[in-house]
Structures are given as C-alpha cells and as structure tokens.
C-alpha cells in the first residue's frame, strides 16, 4: 500500500496493523501529519506503528510508545573499535580471512555483482535453522530486491579469487549507517568472510565520520553473539503505536498488537527453534 509516496506494509486478519515497508531506512518527517493522512485515506488499517531516527529518540511524541531494542555500534575511530570494542577472537577471525586469501572491497552494483548474490542465495535452502526466503529467486527478483536505496548504499564484497563468497549492503543516512544485508557462503565459513566484511563496514563508517553503525534488532538468539562480539550494543528507541480505528484502540488497550512468539518464554522458543532446525535439516538433506 502506498500513502503519500510512502510504502506501507499491512499484516493481520482479525485486525490490520501497519508499519513503514522500509523501516529503519526511511523515517517520517511529520508523524502527526502522516497519521492524519492515513486516517483520511480510507485504508482499512486499525493500528499504525513507527520508530523515530536514532538521533531523535529522546524527543517523545504524543503517541503511545513502547521500547524497541536495536543493535548499534557507537563509532569514533577504526583503531578504537579494533582495539577496544571487539574481542580477541573476532580480531583473529578477521585476520584469518586475509590469511586465507579473502579480498574485501567496495564494488559497484552491476549485473555481475547481482549474479554473485544469486549464487550465494542458491547455495542452500536453509539458513539459521529455517527456510531461506531468497533461495532460487530469479535474476530479476534478486536485482529488484537489492537495488533499493542504491544511491545511498555501499556494497562490500568478499572475494576468493573471482568468486563472490560474501557481501554487505550498507545503507547510509539519517545520522547512521545500517547493514541491510550481510550474507556469505556456508562452504567458505572456515575463511571467516563475515568478520572481515564487518571490519570493512566499520572502516568505511569511521572514514566518513558516521557515528553509528546499526544492524537490525537486538536479538535474544541467533545473531546475538555475532553482534556482541563485533561491538554492537543494545540501544532503546521508542516504537509508537497509533490507533486509526475504534478496533485499533481496543487492540492496543488489550495489548493484542504483539505477536504470539513475543510472549513465549525464551526456553520454549529455544526448544522450538532447535527442533525446527533438526527437522528442516533432515527434510532438505539431499539439497544441503
């Protein structure tokens, strides 16, 4: 759905909840005005939620808010990050990539690079213990999904010879840089491409005087250890919830806007994700 040239994602069956499609890469300059236009649009949306820019998180707006936790590295210099913000193991892994012959560099977003991304996507149908959405996408789809924000992005590739074995898409703007994607080939995990890609991303940010590097949510599992070892910290920003209908007000008051998995205890989720990973590994064993 498009409202005032801004793409909105809408989810839910019993009630409709919406947010910006490019959340964390696109922000509302006038939240109150945008909410008014959503109400006037006649769209069948009950509840709208959004987050402010990181540097504007202290200025509270007149909407219901709840804390949203994101992963951010506060940056000054590359040397400070390298010596003080990461672990010895992480430094050694980044060095290991170089010793194994991995070259990391900024690359243009062209068809050759897109084909490299496609080869990484098609390596396995399972990543992090769950089906990988981008497995076996065609060339046009891969290009369309990765070309977003291309004018404000840096694409960093990790190469072993002529083969792209990993990459980062770094989107700059709004007082920070954000990692939109970091992915590498599992077959080359022993060469630690992700570690040296992260080091290059930090180097670019510090050279360009970007004070913060953001990477999605502060995870309670999965990528959490990777983020911590690379110096990411948990930063809380407000997430605003705005009811657009009477039903939306009831949903918010009864706290029905949170997904079921957010209410499940960690140990239950750990049990579920462990067995899901085992089941999928067995199901797709001939392909991986």
The predicted model gives 175-201 an average pLDDT of 96
> Whole-angstrom Cα distance, residue 39 to residue 37?
5
Residue found by looking up tokens 């409709």 in the block: 16
The predicted model gives 268-278 an average pLDDT of 58
> Whole-angstrom Cα distance, residue 185 to residue 166?
6
pLDDT at position 95: 94
* 279: confidence class by pLDDT, cuts 50, 70, 90: low
Strands in 12-120 per DSSP E:
17-20, 47-50, 64-74, 102-107
pLDDT at position 128: 73
Residue 66, Ramachandran bin (φ over 0: left; ψ between -120 and 50: alpha; else beta): beta
Residue-range domains of the chain with CATH: 2-67+240-287 (no CATH), 76-210 (3.40.630.30)
The pLDDT tens digits for 68-118 are 999 999 999 999 999 999 999 999 999 999 999 999 999 999 999 999 999
pLDDT tops 70 at residue 249: yes
pLDDT tops 90 at residue 204: yes
Q: What's the whole-model pTM score?
A: 0.86
């Amino acid at each position: 759905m498009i409202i005032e040239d801004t793409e909105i994602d809408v989810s839910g069956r019993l009630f409709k909840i919406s947010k910006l499609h490019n959340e964390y890469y696109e922000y509302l300059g006038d939240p109150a005005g945008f909410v008014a236009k959503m109400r006037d649009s006649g769209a069948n949306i009950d509840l709208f939620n959004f987050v402010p820019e990181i540097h504007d998180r202290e200025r509270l707006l007149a909407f219901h808010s709840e804390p949203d936790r994101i992963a951010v590295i506060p940056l000054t210099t590359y040397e400070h990050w390298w010596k003080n913000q990461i672990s010895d193991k992480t430094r050694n892994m980044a060095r290991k990539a170089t010793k194994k012959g991995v070259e990391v560099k900024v690359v243009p977003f062209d068809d050759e690079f897109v084909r490299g991304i496609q080869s990484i996507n098609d390596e396995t149908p399972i990543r992090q213990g769950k089906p990988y959405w981008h497995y076996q996408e065609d060339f046009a789809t891969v290009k369309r999904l990765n070309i977003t924000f291309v004018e404000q992005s840096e694409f960093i590739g990790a190469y072993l010879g002529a083969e792209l074995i990993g990459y980062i898409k770094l989107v700059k703007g709004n007082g920070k840089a954000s990692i939109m994607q970091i992915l590498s080939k599992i077959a080359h995990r022993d060469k630690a491409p992700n570690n040296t890609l992260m080091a290059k991303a930090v180097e670019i940010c510090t050279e360009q005087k970007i004070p913060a590097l953001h990477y999605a949510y502060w995870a309670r599992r999965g990528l959490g250890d990777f983020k911590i070892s690379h110096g990411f910290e948990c930063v809380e920003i407000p997430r605003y919830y705005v009811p657009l209908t009477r039903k939306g007000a009831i949903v918010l008051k009864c706290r029905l806007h949170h997904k079921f998995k957010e209410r499940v205890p960690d140990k239950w989720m750990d049990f579920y994700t462990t067995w899901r990973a085992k089941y999928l590994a067995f199901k797709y064993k001939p392909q991986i």
